[in-house]
Amino acid sequence: MNDDHKLAEWLREVDEQSYRDADEIFPDDDAWERWHDAARLSFARAIARECVRICEERADYYQQKDRFKFPELCDSAPTGAESCADAIRQRFGIEKEAK
């Protein structure tokens, strides 16, 4: 299974969960717009949680693997942030934009 397929599968799962979340908030509501907004918010929060998890994984990686070899990396916010951003880009298949 390639990375695009894994990502698409994960997104389908997140999408389905966002619908279930919206159904819990508005179980019998006829207001499609409010239900749809709740589903989109749930979906967006799931993406954000995954991004946070990626950054936390990266921080753990620095702490466990490189703290003795490269202690300056553990305290370097720009390096850590860029590394986290690169990991997020890789996970979601996003190319780095030119600045």
Per-residue confidence at 48, pLDDT binned at 50, 70, 90?
confident
What was the pLDDT predicted at 86? 84
The two tokens of residue 54 are 């990626």
pLDDT in tens, 63-76: 666 555 555 555 66
pLDDT in tens, 2-34: 788 999 999 999 999 999 999 998 887 678 889
Residue of 45, 55, 42, 57 lying closest to 88 (CA atoms): 55
Residue of 46, 50, 63 lying closest to 89 (CA atoms): 50
Contacts 24+ apart (CB under 8 A), 93-97: 93/3, 93/4, 93/7
Whether the model clears a pTM of 0.85, i.e. scores above it, the answer is: no
